[in-house]
């Protein structure tokens, strides 16, 4: 039975990542060992589960059916083990994907308390503003800011972030302070992850929608890049109050156009759909939801 569980684990990660070598690295096996285990599994079942090419692995129709059941089996085994140990004895590795600034300011500072309650649990973090393929990268849960576009994932809302426009005192001294959204046309605007690739910003003023075309020299898909740019006086940026509150309070950044409201940003915990989240994912998401609700 132990060999069969190893086969299932290897098959699931090879299918999800599309790579024998990546599956091997994650599971501590050599690539030949991964290939052998998959071959033995296919031979026993009498069906082809994976098609190998020099560039990628693809899952057959039979493999897709088997993949769904294999995921369920592995999740049930993990849940059974955790139930036997008790909720305070979660163990194993929890792979977490975080956006940079929100992750550093809102999630990582809350992890010590969670990990102190679960000392046998290890967290692996991918901290990046690029939206990763959760399944291919093997992430158990990701924190996502903004609109969710992929219905193949499960999600739980954690937070709603108010947004505002900010600029450095040096920028406003040199360029003046905009009084209305229309004034932004004569300013340099910084395009960060939340508005990367867009050429207009939208506001609400007493129920009236206002959309203005904006321009700027700085376009970045990096939160820290956008944040460093506004602090350096390169323009006006859109940021959440949580992410720039400390800098505003310290006088390093100045809110502008506060009368005009920007659409808030929702924060979700996102996990691969099609299967029940594991006990460690549920525990972390429940904890974060409770902690963030307390802050609000």
Task: State the Cα–Cα distance between residues 207 and 205, nearest whole angstrom.
Answer: 5
pLDDT > 80? residue 83: no
Give 114's DSSP letter. Answer: H
- State how far the Cα of 93 lies from the Cα of 158, in Å rounded to an integer: 22
| CB-count exposure of residue 261 (10 Å: 0-12, 13-18, 19+) | middle
Work out the mean pLDDT of the chain and round it to a whole number. 85
At residue 175, what are phi and psi to the nearest 5 degrees? -115, -10
Could you tell me which residue, 76 or 290, shows the higher pLDDT? 290
- d(C-alpha 110, C-alpha 117), whole Å: 12
For 89-197, strand residue ranges (E) read 92-98, 121-127, 141-145, 153-161, 163-167, 188-191
Give the model confidence (pLDDT) of 166-179 as tens digits.
999 999 999 999 99
Strands (DSSP E) along 48-137, which ranges?
Answer: 50-52, 57-59, 92-98, 121-127
**Is 50 in contact with 59 (CB distance < 8 Å)?**
yes
β-partners of residue 96 are 125, 141
At residue 217, does pLDDT exceed 70? Answer: yes
Q: What is the pLDDT of residue 12?
A: 82
Question: What percentage of residues in the chain have a pLDDT greater than 70?
Answer: 90
Q: Which residues contact 102 (CB under 8 A, 6 or more apart)?
A: 143, 145, 223, 240, 242, 243, 267
For 67, the token pair is: 């993949």
pLDDT for residue 100 is more than 50: yes
Q: pTM of this prediction?
A: 0.73
Distance CA(9)–CA(72), nearest Å, equals 11
* Residue 167 confidence (pLDDT): 97
Of 84-88, 125-129, 135-139, 282-286, where does the model show the most confidence?
282-286
pLDDT (average), residues 198-214:
87
For residue 172, what pLDDT is reported?
Answer: 97
Which run of H or of E encompasses 134?
Answer: helix 134-137
- As a whole number, mean pLDDT of residues 17-44 equals 84
pLDDT at 196 over 60: no
Looking at residue 1, its pLDDT comes to 45
52-59 long-range contacts, Cβ below 8 Å, gap at least 24? 52/20, 56/18, 56/19, 57/14, 57/15, 57/18, 57/19, 57/20, 58/18, 59/15
Once rounded to an integer, what is the mean pLDDT over residues 104-118? 93
Q: State yes or no: pLDDT of 56 exceeds 80.
A: no
Q: What average pLDDT does range 73-79 have in this prediction?
A: 78
Rounded Cα distance between 104 and 106, Å, is 6
Residue-wise pLDDT tens digits, 126-169: 888 877 666 666 688 989 988 877 656 788 999 999 999 999 99
User: What pLDDT is stored for residue 174 in this prediction?
Assistant: 95
pLDDT at 15: 82
Is the pLDDT confidence value at 114 over 50?
yes
Lowest mean per-residue pLDDT among 44-48, 193-197, 270-274, 283-287: 193-197
Q: Please tell me the number of Cα atoms within 13 Å of 261 on its side-chain side.
A: 11
Task: Give the total residue count for the chain.
Answer: 296
Q: What are phi and psi of 235, to 5 degrees?
A: 160, -170
Could you give the CA distance from residue 12 to residue 18 in angstroms, rounded to a whole number? Answer: 10
Tell me what percent of the residues of the chain surpass a pLDDT of 90. Answer: 38
Alpha-carbon gap, residue 33 to 27, rounded angstroms: 11
């Amino acid at each position: 039975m132990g060999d069969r569980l190893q086969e299932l684990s290897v098959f699931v990660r090879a299918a999800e990542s599309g790579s024998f070598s990546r599956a091997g690295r994650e599971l501590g096996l050599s690539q030949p060992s991964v290939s052998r285990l998959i071959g033995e599994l296919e031979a026993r079942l009498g069906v082809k589960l994976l098609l190998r090419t020099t560039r990628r692995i693809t899952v057959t129709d039979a493999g897709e059916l088997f993949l769904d059941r294999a995921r369920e089996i592995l999740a049930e085994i993990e849940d059974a083990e955790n139930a036997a140990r008790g909720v305070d004895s979660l163990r194993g590795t929890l792979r977490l994907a975080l956006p940079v600034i929100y992750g550093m300011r809102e999630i990582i500072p809350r992890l010590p308390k969670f990990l102190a309650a679960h000392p046998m649990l290890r967290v692996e973090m991918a901290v990046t503003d690029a939206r990763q393929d959760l399944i291919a990268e093997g992430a158990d849960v990701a924190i996502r800011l903004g609109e969710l576009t992929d219905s193949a994932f499960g999600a739980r809302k954690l937070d709603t972030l108010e947004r505002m426009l900010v600029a450095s005192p040096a920028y406003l001294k040199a360029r003046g302070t905009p009084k209305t959204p229309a004034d932004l046309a004569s300013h340099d605007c910084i395009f960060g992850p939340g508005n990367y690739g867009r050429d207009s910003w939208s506001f609400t003023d007493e129920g009236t929608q206002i959309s203005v075309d904006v321009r700027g020299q700085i376009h970045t898909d990096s939160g820290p890049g956008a944040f460093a740019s506004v602090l350096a006086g390169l323009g006006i940026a859109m940021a959440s109050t949580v992410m720039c509150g400390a800098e505003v309070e310290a006088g390093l950044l100045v809110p502008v156009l506060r009368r005009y409201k920007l659409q808030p940003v929702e924060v979700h915990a996102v996990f691969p759909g099609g299967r029940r989240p594991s006990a460690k994912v549920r525990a972390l998401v429940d904890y974060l939801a409770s902690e963030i609700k307390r802050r609000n």
